[in-house]
Structures are given as structure tokens and as C-alpha cells.
Amino acid sequence: GLARWFPALEVLDVSGTGLSELGEELLALPRLHTLLAKNNRLGPPGSLPKGLGRAPLGRSLRVLNLSGNRFAEVPPALLALRGLRSLSLGGNRLHGIPPDIQELRSLEFLYLGGNFITSIPPELANLPSLSYLVLCDNKIQSIPPQLAQLHSLRSLSLHNNLLTYLPREILNLVHLEELSLRGNPLVVRFVRDLTYNPPSLQELAGRTIKTRNVPYTPSDLPENLVRYLSLASNCPNPKCGGVYFDSCVRQIKFVDFCGKYRIPLMHYLCSPECSSPCSSASQSSTSQSESDSEDEASVAARRMQKVLLG
């Protein structure tokens, strides 16, 4: 077997070889850390050897790529590979993600693109080291707010799904550098709402007061208007200088009007200058200092440096 002839084998690539099962000889490879078995016929019961988690391989394996196979579900045996750092199951026939995915505590990279996944279990948020999550080209309709607990997340690929909104909690992903959203209904709805939903008169008046520094005291206005004006936040776009109010932000969307700029924009923009596709809105705002007057939405928007919609 393999263990007899290659006892020190660390990397094994059997991709594109027509395999319908992986033999038990793999279990005895104590040093194997990377197993690539892409584009095969794996998937039916018995495709993976029994006792995977208890074997030496279960402790040594760090990278497993099973993309381009025929798995209809994430094999339970994989969830016993507690040392796994990278798992790829793209281009299979998965319809869901098992909640027990949270057992893979060492996982840093998870690729599940190109399946038939309709929902994301909140338990996915219990992976403390996850940095790259690829869920593109599925049928996902919503993002659980619990994903905001993925504090190590740097890249989130959600393009070509059925998303109509993002939870506001996604702003808590302060290390996120890449967010891919193209091909989702929320992008279409953003443009429609921007075109047909003008700001309220209260919001326009509030913007004027704040941008022109019109003086007022609590005794001049009703209490609810004073409270509303206190919600004003500066636009994170340094060339805009406008303000917006929490009540009109509602949910945060990240869009790219022009295709060649990759910066975040609010779902409801703060001034006419920001709604022009390729004018001031296309300038990056990451260099602006973070003042105490800005709320978490502004700070997080600046930190979101790349929004991949092109």
C-alpha cells in the first residue's frame, strides 16, 4: 500500500483520475497534510474510508480539496478532521451546510461555491480562525447576523445568489477586505430605491442644519427633533462633506456603480454628490481619519476597502 512504499508522503494529488472512492490505505499515512482529489466521481456512500477521524490521517490532514465531485451533503466523516485548515467542496451537489461544521475549529478557508445551498447555519459563525469563506453561485437568500462573530474573516464571496439584503451586523466584520455581491437582487434593488425613494423633508432639513451649522438649542425645537439631529453622522467620503441619519441608513449595502472602483457606498447616500456614479463617490475614503463623532457604520465603511462587484 501507499504507507508501505511512501511512509513520509505529505502531499497527494489524485485529481481528475476518475476515482469513485478513496481507499483505506490513506488512513495509514501519518504525515499526509494535503490531499487533492478534485474532479472525480466521489460522492456516493463509501466514497471515503471509514474511521477517517481516528486514523493518523485524521490528525495530520490540513488541506482537503474535494471540489468537482458528486457529494450531495458534506460527509460526516470530514467533520472529524479537527486539524483541517482548508476545506474545498465547490462544484458538488450540496443542498445545505451541516451545523456540525462548527467542529472544524481550525478551519481558515472554506470553499462551498457552485452548489445548491439555500441557507447558512448560524453555527458557521463558531469557527474562530475562518478567514476566507466562499459561498458564491448558490441559492442563498439571507445571511444570518451571527456571521458577524467571524472576527477573523477577511474575504466573503456571496456573488450570484438570491440575497435581497445584508444584516447590519456585517459592519462588525472589521477585518473584512473583500466582499463580493454581484449577481444578487439586492444590487438591483439598490439602484431602484436610489432612483425612486428620495429623502424625506425631515432628513433634507436635518442635512441642511448640519452641513450649514445652523445654530439651535434644545429649547428651540421639540425633543424628538433634537434627538433626530443628534443622530447625524458625517459621510465617510472625504470629498462629499454631507451627513446622513441612522433612520435613513436602514440596512447597509455595498455597491459599485462604475465597475472599475471598488469601494463601499451606503444604501441610502448622504448627499447629491454621492449619488453621481463616477464623481466624488468613486474616490476611496480609506485615508480619512476616524473621528469620535463618526458612528460604527462610517468607520466600518472606510475599513471595507474592496467591494468586488465587477
Asked if residue 169 belongs to a domain, the reply is yes
- The answer to whether the beta carbons of residues 181 and 248 sit under 8 Å apart is no
Asked if residue 287 belongs to a domain, the reply is no
**What's the average model confidence in pLDDT over 67-75?**
96
Query: DSSP for 168-180?
Result: GGGGG-TT--EEE
Query: DSSP for 51-99?
Result: TTTTSHHHHH--EEE--SS--SS--GGGGG-TT--EEE-TTS------G
More confident site: 67 or 284? 67
In the chain, pLDDT over 70 holds for what percent of residues? 69
Give the structural domain span for 121.
Answer: 2-192
Q: Indicate if 187 and 223 belong to the same structural domain.
A: no
Q: Indicate if 69 and 208 belong to the same structural domain.
A: no
Domain CATH number, residue 20: 3.80.10.10
Asked if residue 267 belongs to a domain, the reply is no
Gap between the Cα atoms of 260 and 278, Å rounded: 10
pLDDT at 236 over 60: no
Chain centre distance of CA 36: 25
Paired sense of beta strands 11-13 and 34-36, if any = parallel
Instruction: Average the pLDDT over each of 12-26, 150-164, 211-225, 238-252 and give the range with the smallest value.
Output: 238-252
Instruction: Report the pLDDT value the prediction gives residue 110, as an integer from 0 to 100.
Output: 98
SS3 111: strand
Gap between the Cα atoms of 1 and 90, Å rounded: 29
Give Cβ neighbours of residue 26 (< 8 Å, ≥ 6 apart).
2, 12, 32, 35, 49, 55, 57
Asked if residue 223 belongs to a domain, the reply is yes
Gap between the Cα atoms of 251 and 26, Å rounded: 49
SS3 118: coil
Residue type, 167: P
Q: Indicate if 96 and 11 belong to the same structural domain.
A: yes
Grid cell of 146 as nine digits:
451571527
Asked if residue 188 belongs to a domain, the reply is yes
Q: Indicate if 8 and 110 belong to the same structural domain.
A: yes
Q: Indicate if 112 and 219 belong to the same structural domain.
A: no
* Helix or strand holding residue 110 (H, E): strand 109-111
Q: Indicate if 36 and 184 belong to the same structural domain.
A: yes
In the chain, pLDDT over 90 holds for what percent of residues? 38
The closest of 19, 195, 139, 46 to 35, measured between CA atoms, is 19
Instruction: Report the pLDDT value the prediction gives residue 237, as an integer from 0 to 100.
Output: 53
Q: How confident is the model at residue 8 (pLDDT cuts 50, 70, 90)?
A: confident
More confident site: 199 or 304? 199
Instruction: Average the pLDDT over each of 161-170, 178-187, 274-283 and give the range with the smallest value.
Output: 274-283
Asked if residue 273 belongs to a domain, the reply is no
Q: Indicate if 59 and 151 belong to the same structural domain.
A: yes
More confident site: 299 or 224? 224
Instruction: Report the pLDDT value the prediction gives residue 102, as an integer from 0 to 100.
Output: 96
Q: What is the number of other CB atoms lying within 10 angstroms of the CB of residue 199? A: 18
Instruction: Report the pLDDT value the prediction gives residue 230, as an integer from 0 to 100.
Output: 83
Q: How confident is the model at residue 309 (pLDDT cuts 50, 70, 90)?
A: very low
The closest of 200, 303, 202 to 254, measured between CA atoms, is 303
pLDDT at 18 over 60: yes
More confident site: 226 or 112? 112
Asked if residue 286 belongs to a domain, the reply is no
Q: Detail the DSSP E strand segments found in 149-300.
A: 155-157, 178-180, 232-234, 243-245
Q: Indicate if 102 and 245 belong to the same structural domain.
A: no
Give Cβ neighbours of residue 137 (< 8 Å, ≥ 6 apart).
113, 114, 115, 159, 160, 161
* Helix or strand holding residue 296 (H, E): helix 296-303
More confident site: 271 or 251? 271
Grid cell of 202 as nine digits:
425631515
The number of distinct structural domains making up the chain is 2
Q: Indicate if 102 and 231 belong to the same structural domain.
A: no
Instruction: Average the pLDDT over each of 34-43, 136-145, 229-238 and give the range with the smallest value.
Output: 229-238
More confident site: 178 or 287? 178
Instruction: Report the pLDDT value the prediction gives residue 71, as an integer from 0 to 100.
Output: 97
Q: Indicate if 113 and 93 belong to the same structural domain.
A: yes
Integer angstrom CA distances of residue 60 from 15, 34, 78, 300:
20, 9, 13, 38
Q: Indicate if 158 and 211 belong to the same structural domain.
A: no
pTM of this prediction? 0.65
Asked if residue 260 belongs to a domain, the reply is no
Q: How confident is the model at residue 98 (pLDDT cuts 50, 70, 90)?
A: very high
Gap between the Cα atoms of 71 and 116, Å rounded: 11
Q: Indicate if 91 and 130 belong to the same structural domain.
A: yes
Q: What's the chain's length in residues?
A: 310
Q: What is the pLDDT of residues 183-235, one digit of tens each?
A: 888 766 555 554 445 667 887 788 788 888 889 888 888 888 888 888 777 76
Instruction: Average the pLDDT over each of 17-26, 173-182, 242-251 and give the range with the smallest value.
Output: 242-251
